[in-house]
């Protein structure tokens, strides 16, 4: 199986479809990721097939939540090298995507990837989550917020829920400690107005790795005091 077929099979294994055009776009992403990674820290995963599965397919597993619909307005909070938001956009170009990161160099990388692939409808937001979450242009404007490997859940909820409209969703990816993090985040969930709707177990193709996709629904507006000023959510999580 060549690399293109490997990626296509991996995408199909999680219940999605893939064609050669989609694979070509991910090939461009992978190439740029490895090129830029030589001059800045974007990923510790550098084997091509591992990038396909542990970054691209892993990110696409958020679609299994069922809440990411065509034309949805989505924000990826702390996107880093673009995961999971950019693979979602590559898969469904109708999504209106905002990629938020606090490091300008990563935003430059993401702009370059989108330019080379030819993606439109992507906003690049260089900001701390706490600052953008208090900006009326972004506060409670999104259908879905997504995030991967950014912070413990009780902190992550304060970063992400201010962006989501009432009735919208937060989709995050977590590892084996998901249940423990959910217990620790009980107060945050109540305080920030979200409820756990679903916990999906995703097995990554061609590996023995499983992870969780947690789906939260926003049931009430975020109190105006959240998010607190930059740095406080991580130093003093809601508990």
Q: Which fold has domain 3-232?
A: Rossmann fold (3.40.50)
In Å, what is the CA distance from 47 to each residue of 7, 44, 51, 81?
13, 9, 6, 16
- Within 8 A by CB and 6+ apart from 224, the residues are none
Domain residue ranges in the chain: 3-232
Model confidence pLDDT, tens digit, residues 51-63: 999 999 999 999 9
163 is in an annotated binding site: no
Residue pointed to by tokens 């673009």: 82
Q: What number is the average pLDDT over the span 98-127?
A: 97
Predicted TM-score of the model (pTM): 0.96
167 is in an annotated binding site: no
What is the structure's pLDDT at 189? 97
Q: Give the whole-angstrom CA distance, residue 90 versus residue 116.
A: 12
81 is in an annotated binding site: no
130 is in an annotated binding site: yes
Strands (E), the chain: 73-77, 96-101, 122-126, 142-148, 164-174, 194-203, 210-218
Model confidence pLDDT, tens digit, residues 121-178: 999 999 999 999 999 999 999 999 999 977 999 999 999 999 999 999 999 999 999 9
Question: What single-letter DSSP state applies at residue 63?
Answer: G
Return left, alpha or beta for 87; rule: phi > 0 is left, psi -120 to 50 is alpha, else beta. alpha
73 is in an annotated binding site: no
- Are 47 and 31 spatial neighbours (Cβ–Cβ below 8 Å)? no
């Amino acid at each position: 199986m060549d690399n293109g077929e490997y990626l296509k099979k991996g995408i199909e294994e999680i219940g999605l479809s893939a064609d050669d055009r989609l694979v070509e776009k991910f090939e461009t992403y992978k190439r740029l990721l490895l090129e830029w990674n030589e001059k800045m820290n974007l990923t510790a995963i550098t084997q091509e097939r591992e990038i396909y599965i542990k970054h691209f397919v892993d990110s696409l597993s958020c679609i299994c939540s069922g809440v990411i619909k065509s034309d949805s307005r989505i924000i990826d909070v702390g996107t880093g090298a673009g995961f999971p938001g950019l693979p979602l956009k590559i898969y469904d170009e109708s999504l209106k995507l905002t990629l938020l990161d606090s490091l300008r160099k990563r935003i430059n990388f993401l702009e370059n990837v989108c330019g080379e692939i030819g993606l439109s409808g992507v906003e690049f937001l260089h900001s701390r989550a706490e600052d953008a979450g208090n900006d009326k242009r972004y506060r409670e404007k999104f259908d879905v917020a997504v995030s991967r490997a950014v912070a413990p859940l009780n902190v992550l909820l304060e970063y992400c829920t201010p962006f989501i409209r009432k009735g919208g969703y937060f989709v995050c990816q977590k590892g084996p400690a998901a249940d423990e993090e959910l217990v620790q985040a009980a107060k945050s969930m109540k305080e920030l107005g979200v409820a756990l709707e679903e916990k999906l177990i995703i097995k990554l193709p061609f590996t023995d790795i499983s992870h969780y996709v947690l789906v939260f629904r926003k049931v009430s507006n975020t109190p105006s005091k959240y998010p607190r000023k930059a740095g406080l959510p991580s130093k003093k999580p809601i508990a």
